[in-house]
A and B are shown apart, each in its own frame.
Chain A
Amino acid sequence: MPADQRPALWLDRISRRFGSRAVLEDISLAVPSGRITCLLGESGCGKSTLLRLIAGVDRPDGGTIDLGGTRIVGPDRFTEPELRRIGFIFQDYALFPHLSVADNLAFGLQGLDRRERRSRVAEIADRIGITHLLNRYPHSLSGGEQQRTALARALAPRPEVLLMDEPFSNLDQGLRERVRRETLEILRQFGTTAVLVTHDPQEALAVADLIVLMRNGRIEQTGSPFDIYDRPASSYAAEFMGPCNRLAGIWTRGSIETPIGRFAAGLDLPNGSAALVCIRPQALSIAPDGSGISARILSKTFTGESEQIEISVHPLFQPLRMHSHERIRMAVGDKVGLHLNGAQIHVFAEPVPLEQLSSLGGEIIHGEILTETVS
């Protein structure tokens, strides 16, 4: 690990209320220097509010924020946003429509004299590849060009931390991927510490060094993309990061028993307690030979990239969903054998929702049926 592991940004027990509603509760977070941190969550989870608190355009009701070792928010302490050296890229980019691209870039450089300012604008425009746009006005730029201009404007004053609020969501699908890749490249080149807000788990997985998954104003889980995807801390985290098949199970003797098999898990639970199993679609595969768990194909949907298949397994009332990247020769209605890849199965010591119980027809309550179907 490099020596400079002091976090660029340190948030401690931040809370924010709007009226009687708690938008953020007890948020503590260390943002690593020179890395990209993603605040991920559904709309309304508080991630954008957290970003605004860091920027200083809103004030928390409690907690402290340190930036580069200096306290900027705390009791009796509030550094105005203009003194924080924090860059911000807004969802709508917020380019000033009455200023040319060059003047937009120069907006944050008022401390410099005219010549320095001009050379800094030229330099940043060159590095981000928008030199040809300098004399244009924001309304004449395409979405991608606006995004790059916003990036250049935010980076021009060399901020300590760059905040981005859904910076790619205004771009259409094809453009988004490209702009995202370019932006990442630039951020890595500059060694910028960035905090990015997104509601898109794919984006977070693709972009982040560190993902902070938020839920209802609290942090659900913090970790690397692999941590979050492969070792979700809760069924919420598992389902948020990607589709899951949910199954109810019973914890016995160090593993969990479900209608379709027994899975090892490191839970500390009394024997006989209910638990929840999340199985990623890609953990399932089928074979025509009848090996594995006996199942039947309910439907197939071809999406080009893969086939989405629903299969029914006795005694589950809800079908299981799976993807196949190979062509499936079996037809709807065929009997198949189901195989499981244990790495993509997650077990949580969470109370099983009622609807999950009903999908088992109530039989799970006795626990008898389970052993019968497990081969």
Chain B
Amino acid sequence: MTLANSPDGIQSRHLRARGGAWIVASCVIAGLVLLPVLALLWQAMRGSDGLWSHLAANVLPHAITQTAILLAGVGLLVAVIGTLSAWLVTAYDFPGRRMLEWALLLPLAVPTYIVAYAYLDLLHPLGPVQGVIRAILGYDSPRDFRLPDIRSMTGAILLLSLVLYPYVYLPTRAMFLTQAASLVEVSRALGTTRAQVFHRVALPLARPAIAVGMSLALMETLNDIGASEFLGVRSLTIAVYTTWVTRYDLPGAAQIALAMLALVIALVSLERWARRRQRFSTSAQRGRSFAPRVLTGRAAGFALGLGLLPVVLGFLIPASYLAVEAWERFRLAGFSAGLVTEARNTFLLSAIATAAVVACGVVVSYGARARPGRLSAAALRVASMGYAMPGTVLALGILTVVAGLDRWIDATARDWLGVSTGLVLIGSGMALGYAYLARFLAISTGSVEAGFSRIPRSYDHAARTLGRGPGETLWQVHLPLSRGAMAAAGLLVFVDCMKELSATLLLRPLNFETLATRIYAEAARGTYENAAYAALAIVLVGLLPVILLARIGRMGQKP
């Protein structure tokens, strides 16, 4: 019963190192996220002056203007649609409101490149919509009548906003639900009329939530490559892509990417700032939900119609279009062999990447918990940085790192074994997995951390004083107790990997197609209907996290 036989000195120092392993692992993972950014800087500095002045004169001004217009337009529109729809389902009650509450999340299942792809075909001058309009108006050919071309900046802003507004809707509604009630009641008692409540109380209150949602939507906009390409918007992302792929000019692409990074930093700062404000204000009273105003008759119908508008445009129309097209294809030709291969590629790649991303998320989150300190907190923060990086920018950084490694491996193998390995990391899809890890690690650390935060610290301490080391404690206490959070993290990451286009396009092995790249290729060729299956599959799988979100939202809302 004594400790006298416990070897001291060496063992306790060894143990300190063992506990420190969590920190080392966290830092390595954080380093993996940081490395592409550093590589990008290095790559950008390799460019000659002449190149830079060419870019600055001919490429950048136009790309920056286009991107700025796109961001401003999308930002404004998602804020308006998101806030108004959140207010509509919070402040008013009408038949269908409950359904609308979750239905408003549905467009989240449609990636930007798919909504663009669907509407391009739908609104094509020879497509069904314009055909119907011509038939009604009595025109014979597209030459006599056509709608304004969707392939424009306006079209891009509209379409992107239609699928990105849920980023604003979700936090804003949560804000209205959790704390508007008492404040609205107080302000009514102080003489604010119902009509004034929205802009005098609710709007100022929701401003941080709107800003958070808007910054996330804009990060998605910046990341988008498919929609911009299809709709002819020459944004920065496209500039990076073409500079790299068509001109083989890596330093030039890196320099444009740096301009994007500056935008990203601005967006992240906006988000951080807004989140701080949000945390500050949510410390106020919560729990009681808002007593909505009951609408009847025509007013109720109008409210329902208004609320359904974004759902119909952002989800129902593109999804039905895809379903119909897929059905047509199936009747004509059945499943193509290519589709099966692509689905398998997508599934395998996403599954492997998800496992790695969730595992790294667990390591980083647990490191910060088991060894609290400045270092592990910094690692956690850096590890959550990648979500803001546009896929193209990230891919560029990763390519620089991985290509260097590949060359080194190849040279070493040739020196020692006499065989050439070629580009083994890129060829095996490792580079792509790395990109998914860097980009989606934030999702898994966020989700896992949320799961861990529900476990009292005393459980950690109880397990430790009962003789279990940090690793055993994680395995036997934290993982079993946060299974739900782990599953949610896995689902969210899996779906995001599956939908990912911009990095996949640049880093995939030769002749390796995923569902997303297939859609891109078909759309680029103008053969939209060929990719209907792939797009439908992505939208359907994309619905899973939306269902999850809707359920979380309902749980948080007390009846």
Interaction A to B: yes
User: A81 and B461: CB pair below 8 A?
Assistant: yes
User: B12 and A81: CB pair below 8 A?
Assistant: no
- Rank and list the top 4 A-B pairs by shortest CB-CB distance, nearest first: A108-B466, A94-B458, A94-B462, A81-B464
User: A110 and B468: CB pair below 8 A?
Assistant: yes
Residue of A nearest to B14 (CB): A80
Flag whether A83 is at the interface (Cβ < 8 A).
yes
Q: Which residues of B contact A (CB under 8 A)?
A: 1-4, 6, 8-9, 11-13, 15-16, 18-19, 456, 458-469, 476-477, 480-481
A-B contact pairs, 23 of them (CB 8 A): A56-B464, A57-B461, A57-B464, A68-B2, A69-B2, A69-B3, A70-B4, A79-B15, A80-B15, A82-B466, A83-B12, A83-B15, A83-B467, A84-B3, A85-B3, A90-B458, A90-B461, A96-B481, A98-B481, A107-B468, A110-B468, A153-B462, A157-B467
| Binary B-proximity of A151-184 (CB < 8 A = 1, otherwise 0) | 0011001111001000000000000000000000
Q: Which of B6, B476, B477 meets A70, CB within 8 Å?
A: B6
* Complex contacts, B476 vs chain A, CB 8 Å: 107
User: B461 and A55: CB pair below 8 A?
Assistant: yes
Flag whether A111 is at the interface (Cβ < 8 A).
yes
* Complex contacts, B4 vs chain A, CB 8 Å: 68-70
Least CB distance from A75 to B in Å reads 12
Least CB distance from B477 to A in Å reads 6
Q: Which of A57, A83, A92, A157 meets B11, CB within 8 Å?
A: A83
* Complex contacts, A82 vs chain B, CB 8 Å: 464-469
Residue of B nearest to A79 (CB): B12
| Most-contacted residue by chain B among A81, A91, A97, A160 (CB, 10 A) | A81
User: B2 and A160: CB pair below 8 A?
Assistant: yes
CA separation between A83 and B465, bound complex, in Å?
8
CA separation between A358 and B192, bound complex, in Å?
51
Least CB distance from B292 to A in Å reads 35
Flag whether A67 is at the interface (Cβ < 8 A).
yes
Least CB distance from B74 to A in Å reads 43
* Complex contacts, A160 vs chain B, CB 8 Å: 1-3
* Complex contacts, A110 vs chain B, CB 8 Å: 467-468
Count contacts on A: residues with CB < 8 A to the other chain. 41
CA separation between A163 and B458, bound complex, in Å?
13
* Complex contacts, B464 vs chain A, CB 8 Å: 55-57, 80-82
Least CB distance from A361 to B in Å reads 47
Extra 16 A-B pairs, beta carbons < 8 Å, given A82-B464, A94-B458, A98-B480:
A56-B465, A57-B460, A69-B3, A72-B3, A78-B12, A78-B16, A81-B461, A83-B6, A83-B11, A83-B467, A86-B465, A88-B461, A88-B462, A92-B458, A96-B462, A107-B463
Least CB distance from B465 to A in Å reads 4
Residue of A nearest to B466 (CB): A108
Least CB distance from B2 to A in Å reads 5
Whether A87 touches B465, Cβ cut-off 8 Å, given contacts A92-B456, A98-B481, is yes
User: A97 and B481: CB pair below 8 A?
Assistant: yes
Residue of B nearest to A57 (CB): B461
Q: What total count of A-B pairs have CB within 8 Å?
A: 106
* Complex contacts, B1 vs chain A, CB 8 Å: 85, 158, 160
Residue of A nearest to B463 (CB): A107
* Complex contacts, B458 vs chain A, CB 8 Å: 90-92, 94
CA separation between A69 and B3, bound complex, in Å?
8
Whether A80 touches B469, Cβ cut-off 8 Å, given contacts A90-B458, A98-B481, is yes
Flag whether A71 is at the interface (Cβ < 8 A).
yes
CA separation between A155 and B460, bound complex, in Å?
18
Least CB distance from A145 to B in Å reads 17
Flag whether A52 is at the interface (Cβ < 8 A).
yes
CA separation between A124 and B476, bound complex, in Å?
22
User: B469 and A52: CB pair below 8 A?
Assistant: no
Flag whether A77 is at the interface (Cβ < 8 A).
yes
CA separation between A52 and B1, bound complex, in Å?
22
Q: Which residues of A contact B (CB under 8 A)?
A: 52, 55-57, 67-72, 76-88, 90-92, 94, 96-98, 107-108, 110-111, 153-154, 157-160, 163
Residue of B nearest to A52 (CB): B461
Q: Which of B8, B459, B468 meets A94, CB within 8 Å?
A: B459
* Complex contacts, B460 vs chain A, CB 8 Å: 57
Least CB distance from A52 to B in Å reads 7
User: B465 and A84: CB pair below 8 A?
Assistant: yes
Least CB distance from A160 to B in Å reads 6
Q: Which of B8, B456, B459 meets A79, CB within 8 Å?
A: B8
* Complex contacts, B15 vs chain A, CB 8 Å: 79-80, 83
Least CB distance from B19 to A in Å reads 7
User: A55 and B465: CB pair below 8 A?
Assistant: yes
* Complex contacts, B468 vs chain A, CB 8 Å: 82, 107, 110
Residue of B nearest to A86 (CB): B465
CA separation between A71 and B9, bound complex, in Å?
10
Whether A108 touches B467, Cβ cut-off 8 Å, given contacts A68-B3, A77-B9, is yes
* Complex contacts, A55 vs chain B, CB 8 Å: 461, 464-465
* Complex contacts, B466 vs chain A, CB 8 Å: 82, 87, 107-108, 153-154, 157
CA separation between A111 and B466, bound complex, in Å?
11
CA separation between A107 and B469, bound complex, in Å?
12
Least CB distance from B114 to A in Å reads 40
* Complex contacts, B456 vs chain A, CB 8 Å: 92, 94
* Complex contacts, B480 vs chain A, CB 8 Å: 98
CA separation between A83 and B530, bound complex, in Å?
64
Whether A96 touches B2, Cβ cut-off 8 Å, given contacts A55-B465, A57-B465, A77-B12, is no
Q: Which of A67, A91, A108 meets B3, CB within 8 Å?
A: A67
Whether A80 touches B19, Cβ cut-off 8 Å, given contacts A111-B467, A157-B466, is yes
Least CB distance from B468 to A in Å reads 6
Residue of B nearest to A107 (CB): B466
* Complex contacts, A107 vs chain B, CB 8 Å: 463, 466, 468, 476
User: B461 and A80: CB pair below 8 A?
Assistant: no
* Complex contacts, A79 vs chain B, CB 8 Å: 6, 8, 12, 15
CA separation between A76 and B12, bound complex, in Å?
9
Residue of A nearest to B12 (CB): A79
* Complex contacts, A87 vs chain B, CB 8 Å: 465-466
Least CB distance from B375 to A in Å reads 15
Residue of A nearest to B460 (CB): A57
Residue of A nearest to B483 (CB): A98
Residue of B nearest to A162 (CB): B465
Least CB distance from B459 to A in Å reads 5
Least CB distance from A317 to B in Å reads 43
Least CB distance from B12 to A in Å reads 5
User: A94 and B9: CB pair below 8 A?
Assistant: no
Least CB distance from B3 to A in Å reads 5
CA separation between A76 and B10, bound complex, in Å?
11
Whether A71 touches B465, Cβ cut-off 8 Å, given contacts A78-B16, A158-B1, A160-B2, is no
CA separation between A94 and B18, bound complex, in Å?
25
* Complex contacts, B3 vs chain A, CB 8 Å: 67-70, 72, 84-85, 160
CA separation between A153 and B465, bound complex, in Å?
11
| Most-contacted residue by chain A among B15, B461, B464, B465 (CB, 10 A) | B465
CA separation between A90 and B459, bound complex, in Å?
9
CA separation between A111 and B463, bound complex, in Å?
14
* Complex contacts, A84 vs chain B, CB 8 Å: 3, 465
Least CB distance from B47 to A in Å reads 46
CA separation between A82 and B481, bound complex, in Å?
21
Residue of A nearest to B464 (CB): A81
Residue of B nearest to A82 (CB): B467
Residue of B nearest to A72 (CB): B3
Least CB distance from A213 to B in Å reads 25
CA separation between A96 and B12, bound complex, in Å?
27
CA separation between A131 and B84, bound complex, in Å?
60
Least CB distance from A103 to B in Å reads 10
* Complex contacts, A153 vs chain B, CB 8 Å: 462, 466
Residue of B nearest to A98 (CB): B480
* Complex contacts, A52 vs chain B, CB 8 Å: 461
Residue of B nearest to A158 (CB): B1
* Complex contacts, A77 vs chain B, CB 8 Å: 8-9, 12
CA separation between A55 and B457, bound complex, in Å?
14
Least CB distance from A158 to B in Å reads 6
